[in-house]
Amino acid sequence: MLRNMSLRHAALGLLVEMDGASGYDLLKMFEITMGNVWQATQSQLYGELNRLTADGFIEVASEGPRGRKEYRVTDAGLGELRHWLLEVPPKIVRRDEILLRLFFLGQVEPDEAAGFVREQAAALDARLVALGELEGAIDWGEDNLSFYGRLAMEYGKRSMAMRREWYDWVLKELAERDTPEKR
């Protein structure tokens, strides 16, 4: 039974970087720091925190108002994180809904196909703007999360720019196929 459990390690890692936090804190941090890299729902996260506690990788450091539980990573947890980081090969999951649709665009009219691509390009432009805003809104410090977060941000920007160019290239290819003046 090979389990990968990235959410578990994402929570563990974030907890280390935050130097302890509650589930609620963690959930917010998830969204702002790595919403573009990994997503987690509330029910997933709370469940995982309980499992991590049961496994001894984290512990409740203190309890606060409103039933708040401040979690802290144990030594075993730190070891588990390092092990996962360096010794567990990352599983590459390729799953792209837009690319999947591309395969079947031959099933609709050429102008509908081009319209689809143009729509995706416009949506991408909007996300590019949002990413720029996020970058401006973040208070980039000298801590690890800031440093590595900036590297991830750069990846996001490059990735989107590449995709944008590819959309334009696709539109050109579609137009050429539609008007076959070759030879």
Residue 169 binds which entry of DNA, a copy of itself, none, CB below 5-8 Å type-dependent: a copy of itself
Closest CA to 46 of 71, 78, 65, 66: 71
How many Å apart are CA 152 and CA 131, to the nearest integer?
12
Instruction: For the segment 48-87, give every residue that binds a copy of itself (CB under 8 A).
Output: 78, 81-82, 84-86
* Residues whose CB falls within 8 Å of the CB of residue 121, separated by 6 or more in sequence, listed in order: 164, 167, 168, 171
Instruction: Give whichever of 64 and 103 is closer to a copy of itself, judged by the CB atom.
Output: 103
Which positions touch DNA (CB under 7 A)? 1-7, 22-25, 39-44, 46-47, 49-50, 64-69, 93, 95
User: Minimum distance between the CB of residue 162 and a copy of itself, rounded to whole angstroms?
Assistant: 5
User: Minimum distance between the CB of residue 105 and a copy of itself, rounded to whole angstroms?
Assistant: 6
Give the one residue of 76, 98, 122, 175 binding a copy of itself; rule: CB under 8 A: 98
Residue 36 lies near a copy of itself (rule: CB under 8 A)? yes
User: Minimum distance between the CB of residue 155 and DNA, rounded to whole angstroms?
Assistant: 20
Q: Which residues bind a copy of itself (CB under 8 A)?
A: 4, 6, 9-10, 13-14, 16-17, 33-39, 78, 81-82, 84-86, 90-108, 112, 115-116, 120, 143-145, 147-149, 151-152, 154-155, 158-159, 162-163, 165-166, 169-170, 173, 177
